[in-house]
Amino acid sequence: MALRLQRFLIARGATVALNDAQPVEKWNTDALALKREGVGCLGGELPGWLLDQLDLVVISPGVPTKAIPLRYAERAGAEVIGEVELASRYLKGRIVAITGSNGKTTTTSLIAQLLKDAGLQTLVGGNIGTPLISLVESSRDDGWTVVEMSSFQLETIKEFHPTVALALNVTPNHMDRYESFTDYAAAKHRIFMNQGPGDVAILNADDEIVSSWAKGLRAHVTSFSVKRELEEGLFLRGGEIISRTPGGERVLLMSDEMKLRGLHNVENVLAAVAAGLACGAAPDSMRETIRNFEPVEHRLEFVAEVEGVKFYNDSKATSVDATVKALEAFADDSGKIVLILGGRGKKAPYAPLATLVRERVRS
């Protein structure tokens, strides 16, 4: 991303310097290529004299916004933003933005496919892997850009304005970054901060924190639920996925038509369809897309069956809650599952896994 970002800024007349905590000689080849192109490359702590002269600082999502050099630069008059905020100022067309502790990538990918199959000009990027800055040149006034947003990216938005914004859920995650769960949830809530009455906010009615945000939003709120019928919104009734508006209700599809596995993926589909409707996609087109939509790579992705044993790759389940949802998706296989876990704990509580592991995991 750094290479694209630097060239984007240079093309618009900026004098650019790149900084990383590591010594320059340890940087990757892409970063060192920038040095040969005349970009200033500085390893380690930035000197105060340079911080005093900066107009704009674009930070990687992994850099905490409370880092002392950033606070110093802000006090000296620099604007501190992230790559998503910068790109959004140049993107043409309208934005659909998706956040949540779990399900972001599946929902983002599905929304993008729903819009493409409905004949809408669609780009997709953000936390899903494609830097938003690389989509600026191909964006169009009549198009949509579907953007996956992490809490880290949302910390640094200022003018970022999605026409349609989704909050899927908020569960403990990244507690090694935030002082409290409240701070983490507040970062997620920022996705709605620039929306107005002409925009749409899509909320999970089954999530206590997310649903509580409805009263304070300026955008039109659409809710979804897998647990109960809603007066207005999208919900699961038996095996039917239903859209209900003041004009009546419509069965959009049956949940058993989906290739996606688990109740959490029904939630993702409800959220995606709500976004598709807000963007003008036709219900019949969306039904066909959902019926053919395969699990996204690394997300309960079926790998192979070897001598009667089915292997699933869920390596993007990087939180306790995501692992809970994965185990819940295999309700018919209780006592047969071999669970392989690893990675950083991020100071999240593991207790919610205990009961499910006892009930469903063999080893």
Instruction: Return the active site residues.
Output: 104, 127, 174
What is the CA angle 241-262-259, rounded to 5? 70
Give long-range contacts, CB 8 A cutoff, 24+ apart: 18-21.
Answer: 18/42, 19/43, 19/46
Question: For each of the chain's 363 residues, which pLDDT tens digit applies?
Answer: 777 888 899 899 999 988 988 888 888 887 777 777 778 888 998 888 999 999 999 999 889 888 888 999 999 999 999 999 999 999 999 999 999 998 999 999 999 999 999 999 999 999 998 999 999 999 999 999 999 999 999 999 999 999 999 999 998 877 788 889 999 999 999 999 999 999 999 999 999 999 999 999 999 999 999 999 999 999 999 999 999 999 999 999 999 999 888 898 999 999 999 999 999 999 999 999 999 998 877 778 888 999 989 999 988 777 887 888 888 878 777 788 999 988 777 777 888 888 889 888 999
Classify 71 in phi/psi space as left (phi over 0), alpha (psi -120 to 50) or beta. Answer: alpha
Length of the chain: 363
- Interatomic CA distance for residues 44 and 53, integer angstroms: 18
pLDDT tens figures, 65-76: 888 889 999 999
3-state secondary structure the chain: CHHHHHHHHHHCCCCCEEEECCCHHHCCHHHHHHHHCCCEEEECCCCHHHHCCCCEEEECCCCCCCCHHHHHHHHCCCEEEEHHHHHHCCCCCEEEEEECCCCHHHHHHHHHHHHHHCCCCEEEEECCCCCHHHHCCCCCCCCEEEEECCHHHHCCCCCCCCCEEEECCCCCCCCCCCCCHHHHHHHHHHHHCCCCCCCEEEEECCCHHHHHCHHHCCCEEEEEECCCCCCCEEEEECCEEEEEECCEEEEEEEHHHCCCCCHHHHHHHHHHHHHHHHHCCCHHHHHHHHHHCCCCCCCCEEEEEECCEEEEECCCCCCHHHHHHHHHCCHHHCCCECCCCCCCCCCCCCHHHHHHHHHHECC
Which pLDDT value is given to residue 321?
79
Domains by residue range for the chain, with CATH: 2-80 (3.40.50.720), 85-292 (3.40.1190.10), 301-360 (no CATH)
**How many other CB atoms are found less than 10 A from the CB of residue 122?**
20
Which pLDDT value is given to residue 239?
93
Contact 166, 202 (CB under 8 A): yes
Which pLDDT value is given to residue 317?
78
